Amino acid sequence: MAEWAARLAGVRAVVLDISGVLYDSGGEGGGVPIPGSREAVRKLKASGLKLRFCTNETQATREKFVEKLQRLGFDILVSEVTAPAPAACRILKERNLRPHLLVHDGLVPEFDQLDKGNPNCVVLGEAADNFSYQNLNEAFRVLIGLENPILLSLGRGRYYKETDGLKLDVGVYMKALEYACDIQAEVVGKPSKMFFQSALAEMGVEPQQAIMIGDDIVNDVGGAQQCGMRALQVRTGKYRPCDEQHPEVTPDGYVNNLAEAVDIILKQLDK
């Protein structure tokens, strides 16, 4: 038995990363399910454990994203997903902020309900081709013109992999604007503690009652552990063998994929 499986007492909830755990993104149809992951989600739902999906996906609205996953055969609902854009919307409303958006076109509808005139902050998402010199200059000018520049970044990832190669992620552009304006961004999304806490609150469990399963050693595993949760790294998605020698983060355990993780967890909790 895996060593980590012996320390599962008290676990009542599972938090799943999506990209690289449930499916690999990119290509026709928007991606390919990772073998066994659809069945693993069904087993978790049948087990009585609480379940929540926690993603940094910001290329589409939560609705469109969930539709795609349903088409790929996953048993998943919009209400089960914690994502950066809806979290950012809550923050913007609470603080009376009017955002200038530099995000993917597909994400814009998430912010439909907000006043965007005379902006007093910038919201940065993974914007792909929208990360043009002109658009970055525009976002910069908004920030540098503010007495108290506020930059909300939907994640702090360095890069991700699509079928046609590695792509720079939102964190890279966050660092660019931080340096340009000599400010610190507020990160909404993994690995932010607040983001994991909101996923836990949705399930009504404490951090020590939850286990995170993700492919990203820093954003999934490190972030969840910082929040007091246990965390497993899957050897799928963006996992690389060198992650197992990461200088700062050591997962509670490794599994080959989600299916293996779920089988071990359910077997152990059955005892």
Chain positions contacting its own copies, by CB under 8 A: 127-134, 136-137, 140-141, 144, 158-159, 165-168, 171-173, 175-182
Nearer to its own copies, 166 or 194 (CB): 166
Q: Contact 139/100 with Cβ under 8 angstroms? A: yes
- Residue 140 Cβ vs its own copies, minimum distance, rounded to whole Å: 6
Place of tokens 């993700």: 214
The tokens of 202 are what?
A: 């949705």
- Residue 111 Cβ vs its own copies, minimum distance, rounded to whole Å: 21
- ∠ CA 17-270-259, rounded to 5°: 35
Beta bridge partners of 122: 100, 151
d(CA 226, CA 74): 29
Other CB atoms within 10 Å distance of the CB of residue 74: 19
Other CB atoms within 10 Å distance of the CB of residue 192: 22
- Residue 72 Cβ vs its own copies, minimum distance, rounded to whole Å: 26
Nearer to its own copies, 2 or 180 (CB): 180
Local structure of residue 125 (DSSP, 8 states): -
Nearer to its own copies, 173 or 196 (CB): 173
Nearer to its own copies, 1 or 242 (CB): 242
- Residue 259 Cβ vs its own copies, minimum distance, rounded to whole Å: 30
- Residue 146 Cβ vs its own copies, minimum distance, rounded to whole Å: 13
- Residue 176 Cβ vs its own copies, minimum distance, rounded to whole Å: 4
d(CA 57, CA 21): 13
Nearer to its own copies, 175 or 235 (CB): 175
Amino acid sitting at position 94:
E
d(CA 23, CA 72): 9
Nearer to its own copies, 126 or 252 (CB): 126
